[in-house]
Amino acid sequence: MAAALLAGCAAGGTSGSAPAAAAEDGLQRLAQAGPPQLPQAARRAAPASGPSAAPASAHTPEGVFGPYLAGRLAANESDAGPAADALLAALASEPDEPEILTRAFNAAVMDGRPEAVRLARRLPESQLAALLLAGADAQGGRWERAEARIRGLPRQGSAQILQPLLLAWAQAGHGNTEAALATLRPFTEGGQLRGVAALHGAMIADLANRPRDAERLIRIAVAEADEPNMRLATIAAGILARAGREADGARLFDAMAVGSDDIALTAGPLARRAALTERAVASPTEGMAEAQVALGAALRGQGSPELALILARLSLRLRPGFVPAQILAAESMADERHVGPALAVLEAVPPTDPMAPLAMLRRAGLLGRMGRGGEAVELLKQLAGAHPGAPQPALAMGDMLRREGRPAEAAAAYTTAISRLPQPAAADWPLFHARAIARERAGDWPGAEADLRQALALSPDQPVLLNHLAYAWVERGERLQEARGMLEKAVAARPQDGNIADSLGWVLFRLGEVKPAIEWLEKAAELEPRNPVVNDHLGDAYWAVGRQAEARFQWRRALGLDPEPAETGRIEAKMRDGLPASATALR
C-alpha cells in the first residue's frame, strides 16, 4: 500500500528523521545524536586523559571502547550494517551494559539481523522490542500473547495508527473475526483513519469468507483514497471479484493504473490476473506485515526514512520476500545515502514479481547515483523493450542521458516517452519541458521552443515554463515585450523565486528600463546570492548607471561562484574593459 492512504493519518507521529540511530521507543521519535556519552563499561575501557595519556594515534582501542564508538558513529550515519557489527561486538564484551544492549538491538533491527529477537527479550520496556516480539509470537501461532503485547503499545504518536490495526489482526489470528471488526469499527465510521481501517477490515473479512462485509469495507477504503494506489487496487480487485463483482474489480484496477506512472508500469496482464484470482494477504501474519509497510511508506513520505526502514524490516520479518517492503527498505536506505545496500535489496526482487519493473526502475536510478550511468541506461533499455506501452523507462533514460551530458540522445529518449503517452494531459508538461531542455542543450532551439509552447499549452500558468521561454527570448533578443508580460505573470505566482526575479530584471534592462531593472536584480541577488548569472546581471545594470565600483564587485563575485566556462572569459573582459556600449543588444 502506498503512502497516499496514510498520508494524512500520522499527524501525531514523527515529523522528521534525526541523524542518530533509532531510539529505544522506535515508533515515536529517534534518538538525539549529541556528543556520545559513554556507558560505564566503555568509560572504564577508555584511555586516560591528561598530559600522561598516550596520543590517540599511538594505539588501537581495545575491549568495548573501540567497537562501541565505531557502532555509535555508524548508527549516527544510519549505516545499519557496520553499526550492527560493531555494537554486537561491543555487547559481546559487555553483555549486561544497558546502553550497549539497547543500541545493539536497534542496529540489529535496522539491519534485519536474527539476533534482534534474542535481544528484544531482554528489553521489556522497549516499544520496538514489543512490536518485534508480537510479530514473533504471531509467527509462532501464539496469538493471545501477541495480542497482549500489542495492547501494551501506547495510543499516541505513530503507534496510534499501527496499534489498532495490529490488534485487529491478532484477534483475527486466533479466530475472533467479530472482535477484530469491532476493534476497527470506531475508525471505519469516520475520522482520519477511516480509509486504512476500512482496508484492513476488508482484508480480515475477506480471509474469514465474509464477502459482503469485505465488499462494503473495501468500497469505503477506495472512496477514501486521495490518489491512485497500486496496493489498494490489487487488494480491492481481488476482494470485489470474490464478492461476485469481478467486473467492478477489473475496472477499478484499470482506472487506477491510468492514474499513476508507477502503477501503469506494474499493472500489466500478469498483475491484473493475479489481483483478480489471488489474495494479496493470505494470513493474519501477512496482514500485520501489510500494516507495518503501509505506515512506513507514510512516514517516509513525511521525511522519516529511518523509521520507514525500521517498519520495512519488521514487515519483512513477518513476510520474507514481501516486495513492497523490499522497495520501501531500499528507498529508505537511498534517502540516507546508503546507495549500495539499497541496490542489493532491489536486486533480490524476483523478476517474475508484478512489481519487478518498478524495482528495476529504482535500480537504474541508484546505478546513476553511483556513477554507473552506462549500466543504468542498459537496464532502462531492457525495461523499455519489455514494456513497449510504458513511458516511464524512456523518461528515466532521458533524465539519465541528460545528466551525463548527452542531450541529443536524451531528446530522442524523451521523444520515445512522449510517443507512449495515450494523450498528453496537464500533468505531462514536465516531460515536454525535459525534452525542451535537452534540445536546447543540443543546439536545436526551434525544437526546444516548440516543446516549451506545447508544455505551456498543457499548463498555461506554470511559472517554470513562463520563465524558461521568456528568458530564452530575452537572451536571443526576441519578443521582449511578450517576454516581459510572461515574466510579470510568473513573478506574481512566485514572488520569492530569485531566478524569476532575475529574468524580469533582465528583460527590463534589455528594454532600457534600468532603474526598475536594478530593483528586481537586487531582489534576485538577495534571494539567490550564490548564483553567478544573477550577480553578473546586477553588475551590468550597475555599470549602466555609472556605479562602476559596485559593478566590478558583482562581476568579481560572479567569477568566484563557478560560472559556466563560456561565461568566464566574457566576465573577465568586463572586469578589464567595462561594459560594452552595446550591452543591451543581443550578445
In a domain, 108, yes or no: yes
In a domain, 548, yes or no: no
Q: Is 248 inside any structural domain? A: yes
> For residue 78, what pLDDT is reported?
67
Residue 16 has what pLDDT?
34
Distance between CA atoms of residues 172 and 166, nearest Å? 10
**Taking the CA atoms of the chain, what radius of gyration do you get in angstroms?**
29
* Domain end position, chosen among 65, 95, 123: 123
- Residue 101 and residue 234 in one domain: no
165 and 248 co-located in one domain: yes
In this structure, what C-alpha cell is assigned to residue 84? 550492527
Judge if 168 and 303 occupy the same domain. yes
Q: With respect to residue 536, please indicate whether it lies within any of the assigned structural domains.
A: no
Q: What CA–CA distance (Å, rounded) separates 488 from 494? A: 10
The whole model's pTM is what? 0.77
Q: Are 242 and 304 part of one and the same domain?
A: yes
Residues 90, 160: one domain?
no
**H-type helices in 387-530, by residue range?**
392-403, 407-419, 429-441, 445-458, 463-476, 480-493, 498-510, 514-527
Number of domains in the chain: 2
Three-state secondary structure of 280-321:
CCCCHHHHHHHHHHHHHHHHHHCCCHHHHHHHHHHHHHHCCC
Angstrom distance (rounded) from CA 228 to CA 255: 9
* 141 and 101 housed in the same domain: no
Give the model's pLDDT for residue 228: 62
What CATH number should be reported for the domain holding residue 312?
A: 1.25.40
Please give the pLDDT value at position 5: 35
Q: What is the pLDDT along the chain (587 residues), one digit of tens a residue?
A: 333 333 323 323 333 333 233 333 444 433 223 333 444 444 444 433 333 333 333 333 456 778 888 888 877 776 778 888 888 888 888 888 888 898 899 889 888 888 999 999 999 888 889 999 999 999 999 999 999 999 988 776 666 788 999 999 999 999 999 999 999 999 998 888 899 999 999 999 999 999 999 999 999 998 888 776 778 888 888 898 888 888 887 787 777 666 556 666 766 666 666 667 778 899 999 999 999 998 898 888 888 888 898 899 999 999 999 999 999 999 999 998 889 989 999 999 999 888 899 899 999 999 999 999 889 999 999 999 888 888 889 999 999 999 989 999 999 999 999 998 888 999 899 999 999 999 999 999 999 999 999 999 999 999 999 999 999 999 999 999 999 999 999 999 999 999 999 999 999 999 999 999 999 999 999 999 999 999 999 999 999 999 999 999 999 999 999 998 889 999 999 999 998 876 644 33
**What is the domain range of residue 83?**
78-123
- 102 & 137 share domain: no
Q: What is the pLDDT of residue 32?
A: 29
Residues 159 and 306 in one domain: yes
Query: What is the grid cell recorded at 276?
Result: 483478480
Amino acid letter, 77: E
Query: How many CB atoms within 10 Å of residue 248?
Result: 17
Both 207 and 281 in a single domain?
yes
- Which residues, 6+ apart, have CB-to-CB distance to 158 below 8 Å? 10, 12, 13, 14, 27, 28, 295, 299, 307
Cα dist from 55 to 44, 63, 124, 443, 462, whole Å:
18, 18, 41, 60, 61
**Cα–Cα distance, 469 to 480 (Å, whole number):** 11
